[in-house]
Structure 1
């Protein structure tokens, strides 16, 4: 009886092994989504948390700090407010302007245009720091004071393009160019409208904290073909190329129903059709 039980156990173990052997580890890992705070179910082109870096595209690594999702873009950290996979857009805000207009490091927002671009609902607010005091009495612009690195400085902000003001307000343009620094912070055009009627620091911070929208472009057509074939999109950091993770093994473009990988010409013709 014991021999029969032993043989039955061996048969069950051996019989179940191929089920797990056929599942590629990278495919299984890329099934995980990024979840942090109110951001749930985020997949390609993003990596982070339970998603290894090969599950996302370079430059789209996400972090989670105290249930606050964040993303680093060109070495600057942004709060991640929302992701729309269907429209391939994300909403982010400058982390250094969450509480006030006086960050320790004054830097403009910069993007890699090959990966990210602003949507049509885009506007910019320009902050000027270290401006001469007192300002000319004729200037009616919004003023604020900062203490940055133990240096107290006067600042101003405008929601219009400075070059457009040169014709209508030359004295304002001339004065602002004498300030030590200027920083452009993106915002939604719709969020800027209330500032035109009430140009206060509180209104400006509220607009900045609503974030701004970016649209991404990361092998989108290849990813669509990969997912249509039952695969999961990823990126090979060694070959620096798009990879389609399939249940059995990674492929260049899309998964195949047969054990053999499809030829490159076959996959590419399928992608182009």
Structure 2
């Protein structure tokens, strides 16, 4: 047996095997499965594409559709405000949300209108343009405006369906638009208000309960390719970071 020939053959086989491994590993690593993009559970809801949990890699969701979780509730951040996601319907592409800054007491909320990022979301259904008026000078609110108090800032009014041209806008220092569904939640009713001085005020926390009915928004990004991917047993992502 020729030892020189045997060593040369072994060297050639080793070289071929080494080259095979060298090219195989990067090729398989360049298209990794989305192992980090498994649906993320939050309370009784689930985060999946086009959304991603904020701690997941960027490629797990579409840009702008990041959701947090406080352990029980999904949290959506948009236009300087945070919203609690009451319900997510993946088939209809609808989120039911409510403003977190007004959740417990409207007196502690931010004096900014509810504004969507219309490149990502839109309103999904009919809703009331409910409005909170703060630090008002008017002693006689228009009919159907409900008075409330926020010590020490003074009197305010809640309008379930506001007329944006109403002069009350000029008599109050702040007005905050907060959409709510045109569906009255069970057990939540507004006291009658006829615009007189005898109109009974309600607590600011009671108004918060009404606003916590929330409103519906729909996400705009097209996910039909993702649906086909999931039907074939795949997992969706948005490229690789």
What interval of TM-score do these two structures reach, taking the shorter chain for normalisation? 0.7 to 0.9
Which of 148, 156, 179 is 2:172 aligned to?
Answer: 179
* 2:149 corresponding residue in structure 1: 145
In the aligned structure 1, how far is the partner of 2:143 from the partner of 2:236?
54
Q: Give the structure-2-normalised TM-score.
A: 0.72
Tell me the CA shift for residue 181 of structure 1.
Answer: 0.8
**3-state SS of the aligned residue for 2:184?**
helix
SS at match of 1:177: helix
| Partner of residue 38, structure 1 | 44
**Partner of residue 34, structure 2:** 27
Spell out, residue by residue over 1:71-98, the C-alpha distance to the aligned partner (whole angstroms, 9 max, x if none). 1122211111111111111111110111
Is 1:154 the counterpart of 2:155? The answer is yes
Aligned position for 2:221: 218
In structure 2, the residue matched to 1:64 is: 69
Q: What's the CA shift string for 1:251-272, capped at 9, x where partnerless?
A: xxxxxxxxxxxxxxxxxxxxxx
Counterparts in 2 of 1:74-85, with a 5 A limit?
Answer: 74-85=79-90
- Name the Cα RMSD after superposition: 3.0
Deviations 1:164-214 (A, max 9, x none): xx6xxxxxx324422111001111110279645657456532231122111
* Distance in structure 2 (CA, Å) of the matches to 1:143 and 1:58: 41
SS of residue in 2 equivalent to 1:102: helix
Matched-pair contact (CA < 8 Å) for 1:123–1:192: no
What is the distance in 2 between the residues matched to 1:75 and 1:69? 17
Distance 2:98 2:76 in 1: 10
Does residue 190 (structure 1) correspond to residue 183 (structure 2)? The answer is yes
CA deviation after TM superposition for structure 1 residue 138, in Å: 7.6
The answer to which structure, 1 or 2, has the higher relative contact order (CA under 8 A, 6+ apart) is 2
TM-score by structure 1 length?
A: 0.64
Cα distance in 2 for partners of 1:107, 1:137 equals 21
Q: Unaligned stretches of 5+ in structure 1?
A: 1-17, 167-172, 239-273
In the aligned structure 1, how far is the partner of 2:185 from the partner of 2:163?
16
